[in-house]
Amino acid sequence: MRVAIYWAPELDDPLHAAGSAWLGRDAETAARVPQPDIPGLAEITADPRGYGLHATLKPPFRLAGRYQDFITDAALWAAGIAPFALPPLSVQDLKGFLALRETAHCPALHALANSAVAALDHHRAPPSEEELARRRQARLSPAHEALLARWGYPYVMGEWQFHVTLTHRLPLAEAERIRPLAEAHFAGMLEQPRVIGTVCVFTQAAPGQPFLIAERLPFSGPAA
């Protein structure tokens, strides 16, 4: 089993239903959801569908110890964090992937991701040589290699970027076709700010299995 700390919209946020429909699966219930009638959408969302609608905070990892010990520590960690406002989102291109991204810099968001990576890292089992080799196929920079060695993943800390993945990597012409359709699908629900008051523990039962929301961990720390 692997676990991860992700941000996901609250169940009563319209973004949860719209995002689940876009991907074709609800990570909260594991149910398949009918997708919009967009040619090719099922294929270009196949990879993100398996992970569920989310933004990565602490990337997936195997546990070094007991799941319940991890959950206890994760809940305590989350309880010390104060809720904060997430800037409005928009559909953006991120290195060929379409994703929902913030429209303004948010220091609290980056601090949350850094804290998730560091505070819970003692629960992470070291990556296998196969996992490391797979990561290195991307021809990592020295900075990414150092992060991989320290945290088990190359795109954390200073290399982290908030993104809710909507597609796999697309050729430019395909991205230009899909982007306005994604903007129309999410119209009216990205512009308003939303409060981040929880994070989610996602679990993957076995390699190749879909990720599911196992726990929602509330924030209850004092406001800054």
Asked whether residue 224 carries a pLDDT value surpassing 70, the answer given is no
Domain borders along the chain are 2-125+162-218
- The interaxial angle of helices 172-185 and 14-23, nearest 10 deg, is 140
Segment 4-29 mean pLDDT:
97
For the stretch 127-149, pLDDT in tens is 888 888 888 877 889 999 999 99
Determine the pLDDT at residue 33.
96
Mean pLDDT of 92-119: 96
Q: Which residues of 62-89 are buried (b: 16+ CB within 10 A; e: fewer)?
A: beeeeeeebbeebeebbeebeebebeeb
Q: Tell me the C-alpha to C-alpha distance, in Å, between residue 5 and each of 34, 38, 78, 174, 222.
A: 26, 31, 11, 31, 21
- In this predicted structure, what is the pLDDT of residue 136? 85
Q: What is the pLDDT of residues 34-64, one digit of tens each?
A: 999 999 999 999 999 999 999 999 999 999 9
User: Helices then strands (H, E): number in the chain?
Assistant: 8, 9
Give the pLDDT score at 103.
95
**CATH 3.90.1140.10 fits domain 2-125+162-218:** yes
Average pLDDT of span 202-221: 95
Please compute the mean of the pLDDT values over residues 71-75 and round it to a whole number. 97
**pTM of the predicted model as reported, rounded to 2 decimal places:** 0.94
Mean pLDDT, range 161-185, rounded to an integer: 96
Q: Rounded mean pLDDT of the chain? A: 95
What pLDDT does 113 receive? Answer: 97
Residue 18's pLDDT band, with cuts at 50, 70 and 90, is very high
